[in-house]
Structure 1
Amino acid sequence: MTAAHPGPDPVNAPRVVHLQGLPPADYADLLLRTEGDLSAYLDPVREIIDAVRERGDEALADFARRFDKAPSVTAETLKATPADFEAAFKSVDPEVIESIRFAIDNIRRFHQAQMPEEMWLKEMHPGVFAGDRVRPIPSVACYVPRGKGSFPSVVMMTTVPAVVAGVPRVIVLTPPGPDGKVDAATLVAARLAGVEDVYKCGGAQGVAAVAYGTETVPRCVKVVGPGSPWVLAGKKLLADRIDPGIPAGPSESVILADATADGALAALDLLVEAEHGPDSSAYLVTDSQAVADAAVAALPGYWAQMGAERAGFSQTVLSGPRGGIIVAPDFNAAVAFTNDYAPEHLMIHGREPFAHLGRIENAGEILLGESTPIPLGNFVLGPNAVLPTGRNARTWSALSVFDYLKRTSVGYVTRDGYKALAPHAHRLAVYEGFEAHANAVSPLRDEIMKRGR
């Protein structure tokens, strides 16, 4: 049951869906994302990957000219130069640079607090010690999209925790603009985060470049960062050669509002992720028809204060199959839908947002109350804004220092401790039929160890 409220442009009026009596198939459709089916991208992305593997830098330059409309990019100009960085600092507004510094400081503080102990050992049994040893991964490529905007925030969110974690080699991949250059604020953010290696290659070709390595772009063991379906398809096809990181596709959000929420304010936040592009997903979920009506009434005024491109993106999302306003029969149903949806971004509106926090099971991030809008989380709050999309928040977490670290189990057993453990290990080895296992904890070992005293 879908009812669209009229607005100044009925074609792009926000979709309103009532969950009461909604057929299961229609409910399931509400949970879908644009990235859900990558089949249309896989064959062309295979061709891109093959070209990069075979032709390296020349292929990357060709794709930059073809896909990014950057005719000046050549195999010799794929890497940003020191002069590019210096020009960027001169061209970016000093107040923007100040805000980048402010954001990096908060992001760094948060991720420093997140760092685990370098090593821990616990005595599990007398003379038996076990624990973890933590080390950074050797290299990572941080992917920064550009097609529908410039994203120095993604640079900060991906590189700062990598630097905090101590990754020896951190690089940035990003598409060039039509002028053949890297976005200036992206270069500023990279340097302030502590990263100097920035390469002009986006899309699936960028993923292929770091999966195989080229004459200029180094091979990395992992790639992180959000991207288009082309990027996601590249990660999928290359997952046997490079760790693709958390699944981060087109932007998505749920604004969960109870009956005490201000519908106009909820509508203001509903537009945040919807403006990223027509492939975004964004829902206002509420059990209050009054909140829904107020949101519908407020949206045209907000669109009037936006530029045509971003307003058009958000209108497409909110009037299409991947967005709109959902009215639940009660708040339990609203929470249940939110958990089923498992959004990338979740913002809770209402007088007592903490009252709802314990009921949320699946979300990339949870922002509580009207003073914690999504842009604070996206830019300056500190927690990472690179989040799992496509319902992957059911099993994945926000990007963190842990994505740049690996844990190695450590064990140490004294001779007295061995005596207590060995009989149990021997019985289990015999039961499972592993003879060498059993021999290694049998009297054979005892005899050899005695000789070594």
Structure 2
Amino acid sequence: MNKNISFWELEKLTSKQQQSLLQRTESDLSDYITQVQPIIAKVREQGDQALVDCAARFDGASITIDQLRVTDAEFVAAQQQLDSETLTAIRFAADNIRRYHQSQKPGEMTLQEVRSGSFVGERFLPIPSVACYVPRGKGSFPSVLLMNAIPALVAEVKRVIVITPPGADGSVDAATLSACREIGITEVYKCGGAQAVAAVAYGTETLPRCNKIVGPGSPWMVAAKQVLANRIDPGIPAGPSESIVFADAGIDGKLAALDLLIEAEHGPDSSAYLVTTSREVAEAAISAMPEHWAGMSELRVEYSSTVLCGPMGGVVLAADTAAAFEFINAYAPEHLQILSLDPWQYLGQIENAGEVLLGQHSPSTLGNFVLGCNAVLPTSGAAATVSPLGVMDFMKFMSVAYVTESGYPEMAKQARVLATYEGFDGHANAVSEVRQRYIR
């Protein structure tokens, strides 16, 4: 196998070249936005018929309008089709994911006394509805379903639906349907890509309009969420997979190469770097790739080699630890894996990452499937300001305040000063002696 892994030495790169390493496939969505506009318009105007047409055009699936929603019979058939080992793994993962997210859920209400007789707090409520998007173009992903839907169910969202592209035969992945059945989701619709985003943003004859959409997808789907952000909450930025594996000199480079392939195999639009301060680790990782590829399918080799031999992946050699983490924090990866005999020593240097997996026994594989922490993570550098998907993405809070008769005078006095200064007469009058005339 003759494939050259991209190798970058940070010290030898210009500032512009270093910046180019930070790019992702969806960094510039202008072309995709142009392409999704007519798809969105068609769904808005034609509803279900547009979804059927798009399924044939983009998914190669021949379905009718009455087949858009998955039937009870399809749920039963999927669970019968799925092997017991996979079903057991789904249940194991679901249990861990549920436990983790239950720990995130706030109480119904908080209240604190900020001054004597004056109380402020929050009341937490679930959002009304959400559409959980499960991609299928590059495989089948029941784990994505679990990560998206379980925190919504823990938050007690009133209506949780799933949208996912149909296969060429018009079916939905059996494992995804089985996972839905396991966690109690009964509404699954066969549509994907930009057309699915439009469907839940506007609603069609069959699909309900939803308040929010969550889940990773292609640049077309990401572009559609941007275009429709005024119609539906697009959730956290969740585009193609990306990762950085940091390995220090104490790690076998072959292990670093093994873990580098985890996110790189998702698709040719993924991004994946090994960052190290050790030339020995870098060289060992590069030399180990043919051996690791030999144990992978042709499709996954094609995907991962496209990433690791291209402009958005490979091995990055840093002069020292400070330079390594300066690059990592600038990149703000979706997944960050720290390979070291003492991984905790580096945690304090990490500012921007969707998730941090510490040590030789915490590969991204575990986080993606079974650990319980959410694998729907911010991409394209959004980890600098955005958190992983969690229960609070499916909840909102309203401020609650209560002032007693004894607490009122001091609050009123200070509020009136500020209202008067800012020129709001109505505000000032509402906390003046005039109020006392009407209080019973």
Same structural fold, with TM-score higher than 0.5 when normalized by the shorter chain: yes
1:425 to 390, 415, 432: 415
1:158 to 140, 148, 163: 148
Q: Which amino acid aligns with 1:418?
A: Y
SS in 2 for 1:415: coil
Q: Which amino acid aligns with 1:289?
A: R
Aligned-pair CA distance for 1:251: 0.2
1:137 to 105, 124, 127: 127
CA distance in 2, matches of 1:307, 1:412: 63
CA distance in 2, matches of 1:396, 1:265: 30
Question: What is residue 137 of structure 2 aligned with on the other side?
Answer: 147
Q: Which amino acid aligns with 1:144?
A: V
Question: What is residue 402 of structure 2 aligned with on the other side?
Answer: 412
CA distance in 1, matches of 2:382, 2:274: 20
Q: Which amino acid aligns with 2:106?
A: P
Question: What is residue 25 of structure 1 aligned with on the other side?
Answer: 16
Question: What is residue 104 of structure 1 aligned with on the other side?
Answer: 94
Residue 76, structure 1, aligned to residue 60, structure 2: no
CA distance in 2, matches of 1:43, 1:130: 47
Aligned 1:366-445 pairs, distance under 5 A: 366-445=356-435
Residue 218, structure 1, aligned to residue 208, structure 2: yes
1:192 to 179, 182, 192: 182
Question: What is residue 64 of structure 1 aligned with on the other side?
Answer: 55
Aligned-pair CA distance for 1:442: 1.1
SS in 1 for 2:169: coil
CA distance in 2, matches of 1:445, 1:26: 66
Q: Which amino acid aligns with 1:239?
A: A
SS in 2 for 1:253: strand
CA distance in 1, matches of 2:247, 2:174: 38
After the TM superposition, list the runs of 4 or more consecutive aligned residues in structure 1 that deviate by more than 4 angstroms: none
CA distance in 2, matches of 1:55, 1:45: 15
SS in 1 for 2:240: coil
Aligned-pair CA distance for 1:408: 0.6
Q: Which amino acid aligns with 1:325?
A: V
1:49 to 35, 40, 61: 40
CA distance in 2, matches of 1:436, 1:52: 48
Question: What is residue 347 of structure 1 aligned with on the other side?
Answer: 337
CA distance in 1, matches of 2:177, 2:319: 49
CA offsets 1:56-77 (integer angstroms, 9 cap, x no match): 0000000001100002x11111
Question: What is residue 295 of structure 2 aligned with on the other side?
Answer: 305
1:261 to 235, 240, 251: 251
CA offsets 1:343-396 (integer angstroms, 9 cap, x no match): 000000011001111110000000000100001000000000000000000000
Report sequence identity in percent. Answer: 59
Question: What is residue 94 of structure 1 aligned with on the other side?
Answer: 84
Aligned-pair CA distance for 1:321: 0.6
CA offsets 1:90-136 (integer angstroms, 9 cap, x no match): 10111100000000000000000111111010011100000010000
Question: What is residue 268 of structure 2 aligned with on the other side?
Answer: 278
CA distance in 2, matches of 1:41, 1:21: 34
Q: Which amino acid aligns with 1:117?
A: G
Q: Which amino acid aligns with 2:325?
A: V
Question: What is residue 16 of structure 1 aligned with on the other side?
Answer: 7
CA distance in 2, matches of 1:160, 1:247: 19
Question: What is residue 236 of structure 2 aligned with on the other side?
Answer: 246
CA offsets 1:12-52 (integer angstroms, 9 cap, x no match): 31111001131000010010100101111112211011100
Question: What is residue 4 of structure 1 aligned with on the other side?
Answer: none
Q: Which amino acid aligns with 1:33?
A: R
Aligned-pair CA distance for 1:447: 2.2
Aligned-pair CA distance for 1:229: 0.4
1:85 to 72, 75, 83: 75
CA offsets 1:121-161 (integer angstroms, 9 cap, x no match): 00111000000100000000000000000000000000111
Q: Which amino acid aligns with 2:50?
A: A
Q: Which amino acid aligns with 1:96?
A: T
CA offsets 1:406-426 (integer angstroms, 9 cap, x no match): 011100000111111011100
CA offsets 1:154-209 (integer angstroms, 9 cap, x no match): 00000111101000100000000001011110100111121110000000000000
CA distance in 1, matches of 2:221, 2:94: 26
Aligned-pair CA distance for 1:307: 1.0
Question: What is residue 360 of structure 1 aligned with on the other side?
Answer: 350
Question: What is residue 5 of structure 1 aligned with on the other side?
Answer: none
CA distance in 2, matches of 1:347, 1:303: 20
CA distance in 1, matches of 2:309, 2:421: 62
Residue 326, structure 1, aligned to residue 328, structure 2: no
The TM-score, its normalising length taken from structure 2, stands at 0.99
Question: What is residue 279 of structure 2 aligned with on the other side?
Answer: 289
SS in 2 for 1:96: helix
Aligned length: 440
CA distance in 1, matches of 2:429, 2:312: 60
Aligned 1:170-181 pairs, distance under 5 A: 170-181=160-171
Structure 2 portions without partners, runs of 5+ = none
1:335 to 297, 320, 325: 325
Q: Which amino acid aligns with 2:147?
A: M
Once structures 1 and 2 are overlaid, which stretch shifts more, 34-43 or 137-146?
34-43
Q: Which amino acid aligns with 1:356?
A: Y
